[in-house]
Amino acid sequence: MIKIGIIGATGYAGGELVRILTGHKDAEIVWYGSRSYIDKKYAGVYQNMFQIVDAKCLDDNMAELAKQADVIFTATPQGFCASVMSEEILSQTKIVDLSADYRIKDVATYEKWYGIEHKSPQFIKEAVYGLCEVNREDIKEARLVANPGCYTTCSILTAYPLAKEGIIDMKTLIVDAKSGTSGAGRGAKVPNLYCEVNENIKAYGVASHRHTPEIEEQLGYASGEEVVINFTPHLVPMNRGILATEYASLKKDVTYEEVKAIYDKYYQKERFIRVLDEGVCPETKWVEGSNYVDINFKIDPRTNRIIMMGAIDNLVKGAAGQAVQNMNLMFGLPESEGLELVPMFP
């Protein structure tokens, strides 16, 4: 059994990690870390775990946890993991960090967009960006994985094959994305109150959202050129889900069959990516509660653009599910173990 510690186990992503890992045949959670609920029963925080999890919440002592766990998931705010990371910890355990601390390779870019000093930049080069469908072989050898964000996972995977094959003009890429409110975390914030969110949709972080450089960097690796995008996220009144609609100019005339063949080249064998039938648009309700990514596209010959669409559950493929997928790769397990989650409906 893989002994697992979770720091931030009472946040939404941490709670989803617990839900998924309780159904993982090779996993045993030994540490439910939560600074806010120390000594409180975990099932008292999440009543859905009543008579399933009997443990109490512990603190966020990473040094002590490293001695007990084979892998630690840090589902924590930006800055925490970087502030406690050390060679001693990494020599004893593997880390899957769900924050952005090691996702961006340029320290100055991270500090500019996140507004905090990076406390352990010496580990950035080593960290593997945990987008399993792209970096699978590197993840298998990693001891530190930077788990991608929810907006970024959906946005990158939706455009990746066309960026990789040079079909789209990367200077024209626009990403318009919508997220459910769980993406903002479990902390109490006025903009996320029911009366603020219900019967409403709003853009936020316009031209300034901190996932922007992450999307640009990864699609830059794919296309082999510098990528600068317009990324506009929106908050919608639903619990879960990300829907990304992306627009780019085509470099040449292409048919539906040619573009479909490109997506199939990269994704046909991927367990968790579903390229939909022609004319079927991705919807968040058809991936809810699952680790799937639903993707499709539409060519618009009138404007010489292509519209790419992707949908994920932000807490599963966008956070906890992807983290478990990374763990499976790191420990040589079947990649889908614990993640055979059929989407919930209704």
Under DSSP, the state recorded for 281 is: P
CA dist., res. 8 & res. 89, Å (int): 18
Show which residues are catalytic: 150
CA distance from start to end of the chain = 34
CA dist., res. 105 & res. 128, Å (int): 10
CA dist., res. 83 & res. 65, Å (int): 15
Name, in order, each residue with C-beta under 8 angstroms of 238's C-beta and a sequence gap of 6 or more.
180, 181, 284
Q: How far, in Å, are 70, 181, 225 from residue 184 at the CA level? A: 29, 6, 31
| DSSP β-bridge partners for residue 309 | 245, 296
| DSSP-assigned letters across all residues of 67-91 | TT-SEEEE---TTHHHHH--HHHHT
Helices (H), 145-267: 150-164, 194-197, 212-223, 256-267
Place of tokens 């766990």: 69
CA dist., res. 38 & res. 28, Å (int): 20
